[in-house]
Structure 1
Amino acid sequence: MINKKNLIGMTLLELESFVLTLNMKKFRAKQITDWIYNKKVTSFDEFTNFSKDDREKLKNSAVINSLKPSKVMVSKDGTKKYLFTIDSWKSIEVAYIPEKRRNTLCISSQVGCRMGCQFCMTDKQSLQRSLTSYEIINQILSLPEGDSITNIVFMGMGEPLDNYEEVTKVLDILTKPWGLNISPHKITLSTVGLIPKLKQFLQERECNLALSVHNPISDERSSFMPIERAYKVKDVIDVIRDFDMPKNRTFSVEYILFKDLNDSLKHVKALVKLLHGLRVKVNLISYHEIPGEDYKGLSYDNMVWFKDELKKRGVITTIRKSRGQDIDAACGLLSTKESLGLKK
C-alpha cells in the first residue's frame, strides 16, 4: 500500500522536491501552495490549472487532509477554545481571542511539555510528542475564523524552541509570499529560554519574541522553573541584549504574578535590573489556578501596584486582560482534563 504524503504542512522547497519525484514540472509546487494555503482547497479535482494526468499523479501519491476540531467551547467574552484529537486519544488546544482591533490565535507546538514549569497544567501531561508542521498549521487552516486572524502567538501547549525544525517550517508557511503571507511582526514566539535554539531563532527569523520569566531571581525561579538550572534567565537576557533587535521586531517579557512568590518590591527591583537597557515591554499575567498545586494568583489591585512600581522605574508594563476563564482558556487546562478524564 502506498504511503501517501499529506501536502498540508509542506514548504515550497519540500513540494518542489516532491513534484520532481512524480516527473512533474518544478513550477507545479508553487501552484500547489497557492491551492492549499491561499485558496484552502482540499481536493485535487479543484486544481483547474493542472492537467488531468498531473491530477491523477497527485491523487495516487498524496492527500490534502484537514483535521477538524473535536470540541469547541465558547466563553461569554467571545474567546473560543478548540480541542484537536491527536493519535486517537491525545489532545492539543487552540485559543481564538477576538478583540476590537485584532483577532489573535494562540497555537500549540507539542502534545504536553517537558520544561517542567510547576504552575503550568500542560506540564502535568509531560511531553507526549512534538507536533508535525501539518498538525501545527492545521490549527490555523481548519478553523472557521481562519480568514479573520490577524495575529498568531506560539503560546499554547509546548515549548516552540524544543520543536524548532517543525515550528520554523510553519513560520515559512505563515510568512512567505507563497504561503499565507502574514507579516512576521504579527507573529510572536514564546519561550522559557533554550539558549542554543534561541540564538538560531533570533538570527534566522523576523518574528517577535516573548520570554517567560516569572521570577527574575535565579534561585527562586529555579524552584518552580527547572529550565533555570540549564539556562539562567540572566544568560538568556544577555543573548537577547547582544542581538541587535530591529525596531519593528518586538521583545516582551511574560510575567505571571503569584501571591507571596514573585510579587514584592524586591522582585520589581530585580526585574528592572535584569532588563536594564533593553527595549522591552513586560506583560503581567493573572494566574489561572490549577488542580493539585498551591500557587495562588494576585488580586487586581496588587497587580496594578506591581505594574506602577515597574513603570516608575521606566519599564513599559501592561496587565494582560484575562480571557476565557469560564472555558479553561489557560494553556493546557482543557486538554489535560480531557486526557485525564477530569470533570470541569
Structure 2
Amino acid sequence: MINLLDLDKEQMKALFGDRPYRGGQIFRWVFGRAAGVLGEMTDIPKRLREDVAKICTISYPEVADSQESSDGTQKIAYRLSDGRIIESVLIPEKDHWSICVSSQVGCAMGCRFCFTATMGFIRNLEVSEIVSQVLHPLRTYPERSFRNIVFMGMGEPLLNYDNVIKAVRILTDVDGPQFSKRRITVSTCGIVPRLKRLSQDTEAALAVSLNAADNAVRQRIMPITRKYPLTDLMEALRAYQLPNRRRITIEYVLIRGVNDSPKDVRELIRILHGLKAKVNLIPFNPWPGCEFQAPDQRAVLAFEEHLKNSPYTVMLRKEKGTDILAACGQLAGGVIHDGQGIDRFFAESAKLSGKAEEHSSHTDPHILGVHRR
C-alpha cells in the first residue's frame, strides 16, 4: 500500500494519469486539511475514493505517549510501524506554538552533551514519519496557532537529506499546511558537503550547532569535527547562499568548564567575523548519566554580555520542558541502544564527497551502512 503521506503534490498528481487535478484535490485533503481517512474527502467521487483505497492509505504513526511540562511544553512519543519510538515537542510561545521534529531514529553524530547520541543511529525517518509530527498536532489541536517548525529533534537532518527536503517542500506548499519558508529551520552539526547543496534546494532557515570556537574543544564534544574540522565548516558557512535579510543561527550549548569562559566567547566572536549570523546561547540541559554540568548562571550572563558588545545579535534561550526531558539535547525516545555510532559513520561516509552521492536520490539511507531490522 502507498502511504499518501509519503507523496508530494507532483507524485500524487502522477497517480491519476490524465486526471492530475484529482491528485491535487487529494493532496489538499491530506496535507492542507490533515484528513485522516479517504472517506473525509467529500468532493472526491465515492467510486474514485474506493479505487484509491485499494492501493493507498493515510497511515500516521501511533501516539505512544504524551507528557506535559509544568511550563506547558508537550512531548509526544510516536511509535513507528517497526515499533521504534521517536519524540517530538510542541513548544508554547507568547502568541503561537513551535513544533520541534525529529528526522532520524537515533543519531550517529555522538555529540557528548546530547541524550539522543546515546542511542546511536538506527534508521532514517520516512517522509510520512516526518510530516506526521506536524500534521498530528494540526489535527489534534486546531485551537493552537502553530507557526514555527524546527528540525532540532532526534537525528542529524542533513544525513536524511532527501526526505527532509521533501518534507519541507510539502509543509510549505500552498495547497498543504502553508508554513512560511522563513518559519522552518533546519539545524545541523555541520555536514559540510550537504551545506553546499542545502541553499540550492530549500529556502528554509539554517541553524548550525557550533558549541566551540576551538577545534580541539569541538572535537572533544562533537566527534564529527574529526571528519569536518572547524576551518572547513566556517568556510562552508561563509560560502552559504543566504536569501536577502537572512542570517545563519549559530547554536552554542554552554557547558560548565568546557566552553563557557571569557576566552571562549572572545574566540567565538573572532571566528564569526564576516559571517551573517546571530547567536543562540543554550545553557546545557543535564540528562541521566551525562558527564557534563549546566553552566553557572554568572558565566552564562557574562558570555551573553560579551556577545551583546559584539556585532552579533545574541539570544539566550529560555529552556522549556526540562522536567519531562523535552528540552534541547534531552530527547531519546525510550529506544533500546542498539544503533551504530560515529566510528562506523567515519568508515562509511566517504560517499559524502563523491559525485555519485551528490546526484543520487537513494544514497541517504545507506550513508552509515547500518540499516536495522
TM above 0.5, yes or no, is: yes
1:111, 1:226 → 2: CA distance? 19
1:335 partner SS:
coil
| Residue aligned with 2:31, SS | helix
CA offsets, 1:231-280, max 9 Å, x none?
12332222221234223433110100011110112211211111112221
CA displacement, residues 170-190 of structure 1 (integer Å, 9 cap, x when unaligned): 001111212212110001010
1-structure distance, mates of 2:248, 2:113: 23
Paired residue for 1:195?
Answer: 192
Q: Which moved more, 1:51-60 or 1:275-284?
A: 51-60
- Tell me if 1:11 matches 2:14: no
TM-score (structure 2 length as normaliser): 0.85
Letter in 1 for 2:290: E
- Number of aligned positions between the proteins: 334
Instruction: Indicate the SS of the match to 1:278.
Output: coil
Matching residue within 253, 257, 262 for 2:254: 257
Alpha carbons of 1:226 and 1:335: their partners in 2 closer, same or farther (altered >3 Å)?
A: closer
Which of 282, 287, 293 is equivalent to 1:285? 282
Contact map agreement 1:83 1:335 (CA 8 A) in 2: no
d(CA) in 2 for partners of 1:101 and 1:271? 33
1:114-125 to structure 2, matched below 5 A, reads 114-125=108-119
**Is residue 2:102 matched to residue 1:108?**
yes
Q: Secondary structure at the match of 1:227?
A: helix
Match of 1:330 in 2: 327
Gaps of at least 5 residues in structure 2 are: 338-373
Matches within 5 A, 1:1-344: 4-20=1-17, 25-143=19-137, 144-145=140-141, 148-331=145-328, 333=330, 335-337=332-334, 339=336
Q: Aligned partner of 1:177: which letter?
A: V
Q: Which amino acid aligns with 1:91?
A: I
Instruction: Supply the distance in 2 between the matched residues of 1:17 and 1:29 (Cα, whole angstroms).
Output: 7
Letter in 2 for 1:273: R
Cα separation, 2, equivalents of 1:327 and 1:175: 30
Q: Which consecutive residues of structure 1, in runs of 5 or more, have no partner in the other structure? A: none
TM-superposed deviation, 1:85: 1.3
Taking only aligned residues, the RMSD between alpha carbons, in angstroms, comes to 1.7
> Which amino acid letter does the alignment assign opposite residue 145 of structure 1?
Y
TM-aligned CA deviation for residue 338 of structure 1: 5.8
Identify the range of structure 1 (39-48 vs 188-197) with the bigger mean alpha-carbon deviation. 39-48
2:333 and 2:56 map into 1 onto residues whose CA distance is: 33
Q: What is the CA–CA distance in structure 2 between the aligned matches of 1:151 and 1:145, rounded to whole Å?
A: 15
Alignment check: 8 A CA contact 2:104 2:125 kept: yes
TM-score for both structures, normalised by structure 1:
0.92
What amino acid does structure 1 have at the position aligned with 2:134? I
Task: Give how far 1:339 is off.
Answer: 4.1
Preserved CA contact (<8 Å) 1:79 1:97: yes
Change (3 A) 1:229 1:338: closer
Contact 1:38 1:180 in 2 (8 A): yes
Q: Percent identity?
A: 36
- CA–CA separation in structure 1 for the residues paired with 2:169 and 2:310: 39
In the TM superposition, residue 142 of structure 1 has moved relative to its aligned partner by 1.1
SS of the residue aligned with 2:30? helix
CA contact (8 A) 2:98 2:146 kept: yes
Distance across 2 between alignment mates of 1:109 and 1:325: 21
